[in-house]
Structure formats: structure tokens, C-alpha cells
Amino acid sequence: MSNTLISLAKSDVEDILIKALDGKGKGDESLGYDECIRLMRSKDANLIGKVANILKERLYDKTVSFINNLILNYTNVCITYCKFCAFYRPPGHPEGYTVSIDECIRRVGLARELFNIRQVLMQGGHNPDLGIEYYESIFKAIKTRFPDLAIHALSPSELDMIARVERSSTREVLSRLKDAGLDSIPGGGAEILDDEVKRVISPLKISSDGWLRIMEEAHRLGIRASATMMYGHVESIEQRARSLMRIIELQRRTNGFIAFIPWNFEPNNTELKRAGVVKYSSGGMELLKMISISRIMLNGLIDHIQSSWLTNGIGMAQLALHYGADDFGGTLHGEEVVSATGARATTLTQERIVKAIKQVGMKAAERDNMYNIIRYFD
Ligand code: SF4
């Protein structure tokens, strides 16, 4: 610890890092907006990363978890036209698709047989032709055939779309889907929780308040969730920090978030790139810094921070494990949203994840969707 303290003394964020190491991540003494801004502006990314790594190792030592997962992008038909999205197709487009209920079940069965998946992650476009029965039928069929398979599905903006189609409330939609088998929900659609940013990148999507309200409704119904942040497009540092603080405020009230996943915007094939608004992604160093800051700011509030290999590759994800991340996310089979940007191959097997974790001297552990460890790989 003494070496760390000597380095800290030269840092412009020394006081914040000492506070973090002292465990001031909880309750009234937690780090706030101003400290978050200072961390984001600091040039001491490596030192911030070192402190984040200490905090992570206090919780998990060298263990890194992952989940065997099938991603089911059930439809790419969408009427929300986000400017950062390369995945959607408008209704009537020849490349638009919706996976039938039978085909969804077939794919889940196959992935279970071939990869022993523990979780199905279902996410898709805002398709106005899909009513709640579509989702209920899929969830019920999965739970009937595979009762122990977790369903992690439908981010708040998709739930909002279903409620609009059904002319119902999101609370009612959540309640029905929970009864049908929904276990937890992904945090997509948060991007940056600031409506000025949303007006530029996704003007037709739910507001920041809407995202937070639906998350709170889910938490109150006992449905846990991950939270995300997609950064590196048009937002300012202040907007980025405020977004994180809004997640922290909700977590203090509900404790419903299990994990936080910061990932950087990938501009290829998107309208933001075509319009010259964003020319390139914010890159690896920024990713490591955001992972570290997330660990420090969320210490004691949200225990799991995922390394994002999807937009930055396995090498960056390995580095992120030294900067505060404790989870490698999921094996990915069938992912289509990020692959639409041409970012990189988006299939990752258990063997590759275990190898990637071992390569950096850490211990791989398979988990379930609630982050309980199922088994270790020696
Ligand atoms: S990000 Fe989602 S809601 Fe936005 S256009 Fe793409 S599929 Fe539709």
C-alpha cells in the first residue's frame, strides 16, 4: 500500500483516490458529481486504474466471472431510428426480419444442447407489430422446456414500446412478463441519461426519466437489472458524470442493479458517422478509464463491472480486468447489433473466454445471471 500512497501524493485526484481506498463509496460519504468530473478530467488514468484494481481485488481477488449466454436479437424492425444504430431496418424494408416464436425456441434448445447456456439475452428493435403475447409465448416455452435457464430480456425502451402497442402501463407489462418467466432485464437504451444528448442521438427513444422510471418499476417488482452507459459520441464530460450519478441515485433507493457496463460508441455504419458528427470511437484508453471510474464511483453500490470486449476486442477486455472489471460478460452466440457496425467478430466461446482470463493470470469462473459462481476453471 505504501508505494501506492507515494504515487497518490503526486496525483491531481489524490484526495479522491485515498477516499476510495478508505472505503468511502457508501452512504452519505460516497463520492459525488464533482469528484466524478475530476476523475474524468484527470490525466492519471493508470493510477486511477491501480486504485480501481485494488478495490476490485478486495471483493474478488483474482476471480473473473462470465456467463454462457445466447443472444437472441428477435427482430431488427424498428421505428425509433437511433442515429448511433447500424442494426435496425424500418418496417417494410427487404432486410427486416422477425424471428418466429418456434424458431426462437429452436435456437434456444440448440444453444442449450451445444453450449450448455445458462441465460438467454433477448433484445431487439421497437417493432410495432409485436404484442405482449409474442414475448409471453417465448418466455413460457423456454421456462417449460428449460426451467433453470434464466431469461434476461427487454431493455426499458423495448418495454416502453410493448406498453405503447398494448396501450397499457410499463408496470403492467413488466408484471405480466415476470409471470411468464422474465428473470432480469438488460440496461440498454440508457446511453447517456441526459435528454439534450438523447435529442441528438435518439430523439424518438424514451426520455432519461422514462428509462429510470421503468428500471425503478422493475426493481420494485423484484426484477433485477444491469445498467449501461454508451459514451464517446456527442456528450460532454458533465453529461457523462450526471448520467452515472443518476444511476447511483436510483441504486441507493432500490439496490436493483447487479452490474454496470460502460461501453464506447462504435460509429461505423451509423448516421452519426455519415453526418460527420462522430468520426472515430473514443478508443481503448478511454475505455480503461471509464471502467476504473465506474469501479471507484460504484464501490459499495454496484458490485459487478463488466469489461466490454464487444466493441474493443479481447485484448482490451483483458486489460480492463486490471482496471477494475471483474466480469467478462457472456459468451456470445448470435449477436447482431454490434456486428452490424462491422466492429469485429461477435462470437466468443467459453474456451476462448477461459483462455483469455487465464492468459492474464486470473481465475475463470462460470456464473449464473445473478452473478452466483457455478464453477471454477483451474
Ligand atoms: S438502438 Fe434499438 S431502438 Fe434504436 S434504432 Fe437501433 S434497434 Fe431501434
pLDDT in tens, the chain (378 residues): 544 555 666 788 999 999 999 876 554 457 899 999 999 999 999 999 999 999 999 999 999 999 999 999 999 999 999 998 989 999 999 999 999 999 999 999 988 988 899 999 999 999 999 999 999 999 999 999 999 999 999 999 999 999 999 999 999 999 999 999 999 999 988 999 999 999 999 999 999 999 999 999 999 999 999 999 999 999 999 999 999 999 999 999 999 999 999 988 888 888 888 888 888 888 888 999 999 999 999 999 999 999 877 777 889 999 999 999 999 988 876 655 555 555 555 578 889 999 999 999 999 999 999 999 999 998
Which sequence spans correspond to the domains of the chain?
Answer: 13-377
Residue 280: count of CB within 10 angstroms of its CB: 11
Give CA 91 to chain center in angstroms. Answer: 27
Q: Which amino acid is at 106?
A: R
Question: HSE on the CB side for 70, CA within 13 Å?
Answer: 22
Phi, psi of 327 (to 5 degrees): -135, 140
Instruction: Please work out whether the CB of residue 87 comes within 6 Å of at least one atom of ligand 1.
Output: yes
What DSSP line would sit under 129-165, residue for residue? T--HHHHHHHHHHHHHH-TT-EEEE--HHHHHHHHHH
Q: Which residues contact 110 (CB under 8 A, 6 or more apart)?
A: none
| Sequence-ordered alpha helix ranges (H) in 257-303 | 271-274, 284-298
Whether residue 183 contacts residue 369, with contact meaning beta carbons closer than 8 Å, is answered with: yes
Cβ 211 under 6 angstroms from ligand 1: no
Residue with cell 460478460: 329
Cβ neighbours of 336 (radius 10 Å): 16
Pairing, β 363-367 against β 373-377? antiparallel
Q: Measure 26 CA to ligand 1 centroid, in angstroms.
A: 35
Q: Does domain 13-377 have CATH number 3.40.920.10?
A: no
Q: Which residue's CA is minimally distant from atom 2 of ligand 1?
A: 125
Q: CA 286, CA 334: separation in Å to the nearest integer?
A: 28
For CA atoms 169, 189, 125, 121, the dihedral sign is: negative
- How far does the centroid of ligand 1 lie from the alpha carbon of residue 188, in Å? 10
HEC states along 211-236? Answer: HHHHHHHHHHCCCEEEEEEEECCCCC
C-alpha cell at 206: 424514451
Amino acid 171 reads R
Residue 82 Cβ inside 6 Å of ligand 1? The answer reads yes
Atom number, ligand 1, closest to the C-alpha of residue 205: 3
* Residue in 81, 83, 160 to alter for ligand 1 test, most ligand atoms within 8 A of Cβ: 81
DSSP 73-109: --B-B-SS--TT-SS-B-TT-TT--B--HHHHHHHHH
Distances (CA, A) of 184 to 74, 111, 150, 267: 17, 20, 8, 29
